[in-house]
Structure 1
Amino acid sequence: MPKHEFTVDMTCEGCSNAVTRVLNKLGGVQFEIDLPNKKVCIDSEHSVDTLLETLKKTGKTITYLGAK
């Protein structure tokens, strides 16, 4: 599966929990959250657009960094 890296404007555990919640609802994804560096690395067959739309549901600022 391709890995995609995003920056997410997370400041606390609650923010990372929100990211976890929306990604788990999407399904078919494995991900790692790096809270101190505000990064989320996602293994998924979903398109980048789908991942961006899903992450935006958290209300946070999201930036796609590229494939990893």
Structure 2
Amino acid sequence: MSKVHEYNVAMSCSGCSGAVQRVLGRLPEVEQVEIDMEKQKVYVTSSLSGDDLLTTIKKTGRECSYVGVKQ
């Protein structure tokens, strides 16, 4: 079952958010990625675990942390 996972991700430009979008977009289990640059938040709709998604976001070199499942 898919859930919406929330992350804090340090992004200063569209290149940063684009990198996050690209690495998550490569995962077939990711249904949707929503990025809020102003709040430095990334919301990922996926059946993967929060930790698996965090590991993927970390591949961009951005500082990030897992907030939890969005209610």
TM-score, normalised relative to structure 2: 0.90
**Aligned-partner residue type, residue 9 of structure 2:** V
What is the distance in 2 between the residues matched to 1:46 and 1:56? 15
Of the structure 1 ranges 25-34 and 57-66, higher mean CA displacement relative to structure 2 is found in 25-34
How many residue pairs match? The answer is: 68
What is the distance in 2 between the residues matched to 1:2 and 1:19? 18
Shift of 1:27: 2.3
TM-score, normalised relative to structure 1: 0.94
Match of 1:38 among 35, 40, 57: 40
Q: Write out the 4+ residue segments of structure 1 that deviate beyond 6 Å after TM superposition.
A: none
SS at match of 1:20: helix
Contact 1:26-1:54 within 8 A present in 2 as well: no
Of the structure 1 ranges 13-22 and 24-33, higher mean CA displacement relative to structure 2 is found in 24-33
**Aligned-partner residue type, residue 26 of structure 1:** L
Match of 1:65 among 60, 64, 67: 67
SS at match of 2:26: helix
Structure 1 segments unaligned to the other structure (5+ residues): none
Structure 2 segments unaligned to the other structure (5+ residues): none
Shift of 1:46: 0.6
**Aligned-partner residue type, residue 35 of structure 1:** M
Q: Percent identity?
A: 50
Shift of 1:6: 0.1
